[in-house]
Structures are given as C-alpha cells and as structure tokens.
C-alpha cells in the first residue's frame, strides 16, 4: 500500500520534469538552422506564398503559443512529419523501438551475468593475480572506444574469419528465426557490453570487499558457516543495493552506446534512426527520439527506486 502511494507520488513528480524536457526539446528545435517553411514550399515560391505557408504552419505566432500548440499535438501522438518522405514521425519511431530493446536487453543480461560473478571472484581473491588480472581487464574495458572495438571485431571475425555477419539484424531474404538473430547479435552485444562488464565488475568487486569487512560477515564466519552460505545469504544480498544504483546509471549511458554500436553494425534500431535524422536534418524526428529516450530514462530511474524497496525492506519511502 505504501509502495503504491510512493509510485503514484513519483509519477506525479515526473510530470514537471517531463515538461522541462519538452521545453528543452522545443528550444533545441528552434535553435536548428533554417526555416521549416522552406521544407513545405517549392523553391520557386513567391514571398507571398511563403508567408501564407508560414501562417498556415503557425510559425508567425509568438514562441509560447507555438510551444503550447506543439505540445498539444505531441500529446495526441502527432510528432510532426518526416521532411523527406512526408510520413508521420510516430509510426517510424515505433517500428525502430523493438530492435533497440532486443539489443539493449541482451547487452544488459549478458553484462550482468558475466560481471557479477567476476566481481565476486575478484573480491574473494583480493590481492592475488586473478584480482589484478580482472582489475586490469576492467580498465581496458572502460577505456576502449566501442567503435574501435566494433571495427576490430568486424575486421577479425567477419572479414578475416567469416564467422559472423558484418551487420544487420537478419539475413536479407533469409528464413530469419531465432538462430539467425543470435548470430547477428553476437558482435554488437560483445561491443556494447564491454564497458558494462568492466564497470560492473569494478563496482561489484569494491562493494564485496566492503561487505566482507562488515561485522555480520565476521560473525557468520565465527559461527562456522560455510563460505558459500556466507556469500549467498549475507554477501550478495547486501551488495545488491549499489549494484542496482549502477543499473540506474547504466541505462542512460546505454542509449548513447547503442547509437554508436547500431551505426557500426547497421542495426535497424533507434540509434541508426538518430544518425539518419541528424544527417538528413530531420529535426522533428530528432526531437521525438530525444524526448523518447529522456522519458525512458525517467521511468528506468523510477523502476530502480522501486527495486531498492524490493531488495532491501529496510528502505522506507516517504
């Protein structure tokens, strides 16, 4: 009951933040060089025709009026049209969400499944060569530019060895299916998860080292509990809070990483759409994507806060 109240309260406080984001997006859109009118009239239009179009589009109104109208349309799902194709923005946007969710979901799953055990291992072997190796590896992982890693993997595994496709999500004209999807996912997920594996391993390591220094662990050891029991019942549970925090900061970062990775591997998701929108100056599309990712991040943060309560009943919300 209390949690429900908290969620409602958080959703309500999200509204002003969303409005702030929308004002930001509107300002950015008006920073864009060029007059949108030019995209609606033919190049040989007379000044009078241009003026008429401007009025028809509402561009002669003061900015606050334009903003309210734009917001009203956006709330009804009208995010504007794509200049070049004249298609509405929304359906194109929706069609690109799926591939990006697949890519990000697979990345997070793989990253945490690898990093959490590695972090625990590193902490338990604190100071040994295994720990040093993993710590060094983590430094490499956070420092390697994902585009360089991506190009390197394509060069070795696609061009030289021919094991994996150079890009795309499924074979053109192929039967597709699960196996093909996995086959196409391997390289992009490897590139995207390198950073998250490294980052999470480091956090897990330092958290576990801290947890192992706590009194309740010493008590458990003194009681004669087996190392595995101490780890699973006392160690991991207490390490989960910082881990959830990292998931919260990983998500906004993932949006950026996905842009670069999708571009390299021609993954048909939101990231590639972003680059296309930038290159072709499709500003309504660009704003829609920015807004969407801000909204996603907002809800991800909310989700993380709720997860705290699930993992640690001591946390109270008020």
Should residue 20 be labelled a site residue for another protein when binding is judged by CB under 8 A?
A: yes
The SS3 call for residue 1 is: coil
Should residue 118 be labelled a site residue for another protein when binding is judged by CB under 8 A?
A: no
Should residue 154 be labelled a site residue for another protein when binding is judged by CB under 8 A?
A: yes
Among residues 75, 40, 83, which one has the least CA distance to residue 59?
Answer: 40
Q: Which of residues 258-277 bind another protein (CB under 8 A)?
A: 259-260, 263-264, 274-275
Should residue 202 be labelled a site residue for another protein when binding is judged by CB under 8 A?
A: yes
Packing angle, helices 283-311 and 236-264, rounded to 10: 160
54 in Cβ contact with 60 (< 8 Å): yes
Size of the site for another protein (CB under 8 A): 46
Should residue 19 be labelled a site residue for another protein when binding is judged by CB under 8 A?
A: no
DSSP state of 161: S
Choice between 88 and 137, CB closer to another protein: 137
Choice between 189 and 246, CB closer to another protein: 246
257 in Cβ contact with 195 (< 8 Å): yes
The secondary structure of 186-240 as a DSSP string is: HHHHHHHHHHHHHHHHHHHHHHHHHHHTSHHHHHHHHHT--HHHIIIIIIHHHHH
Choice between 220 and 240, CB closer to another protein: 240
The SS3 call for residue 81 is: strand
Q: Which of 224, 279, 316, 318 binds another protein (CB under 8 A)?
A: 279
Binding interface with another protein (CB under 8 A): 17, 20-21, 28, 31-33, 139-140, 142-148, 151-152, 154-155, 159, 166, 202, 252-253, 255-257, 259-260, 263-264, 274-275, 278-279, 283, 286, 289-290, 293-294, 296-298, 301
């Amino acid at each position: 009951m209390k949690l429900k109240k908290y969620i409602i309260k958080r959703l309500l406080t999200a509204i002003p933040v969303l409005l702030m984001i929308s004002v930001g997006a509107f300002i950015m859109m008006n920073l864009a060089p060029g007059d949108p009118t030019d995209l609606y009239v033919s190049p040989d239009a007379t000044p009078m025709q241009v003026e008429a179009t401007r009025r028809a589009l509402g561009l002669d109104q003061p900015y606050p009026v334009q903003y309210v109208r734009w917001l009203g349309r956006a709330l009804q799902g009208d995010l504007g049209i794509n200049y070049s194709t004249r298609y509405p923005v929304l359906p194109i946007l929706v069609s690109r969400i799926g591939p990006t969710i697949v890519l990000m979901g697979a990345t997070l799953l793989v990253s945490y499944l690898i990093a959490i055990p590695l972090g625990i291992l590193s902490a338990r072997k604190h100071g040994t060569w295994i720990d040093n190796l993993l710590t060094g590896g983590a430094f490499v992982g956070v420092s390697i530019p994902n585009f360089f890693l991506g190009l390197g993997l394509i060069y070795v595994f696609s061009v030289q060895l021919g094991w994996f496709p150079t890009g795309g999500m499924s074979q053109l004209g192929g039967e597709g299916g699960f196996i093909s999807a996995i086959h196409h996912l391997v390289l992009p997920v490897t590139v995207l998860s390198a950073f998250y594996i490294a980052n999470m391993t480091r956090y897990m390591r330092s958290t576990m080292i801290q947890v192992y220094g706590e009194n309740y662990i010493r008590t458990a050891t003194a009681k004669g509990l087996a190392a595995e029991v101490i780890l699973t019942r006392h160690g991991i549970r207490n390490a989960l809070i910082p881990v959830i925090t990292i998931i919260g900061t990983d998500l906004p970062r993932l949006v950026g990483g996905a842009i670069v990775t999708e571009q390299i591997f021609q993954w048909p998701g939101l990231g590639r759409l972003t680059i296309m929108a930038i290159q072709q100056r499709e500003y309504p599309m660009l704003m829609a994507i920015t807004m969407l990712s801000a909204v996603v991040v907002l809800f991800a943060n909310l989700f993380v806060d709720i997860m705290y309560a699930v993992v640690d009943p001591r946390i109270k919300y008020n």
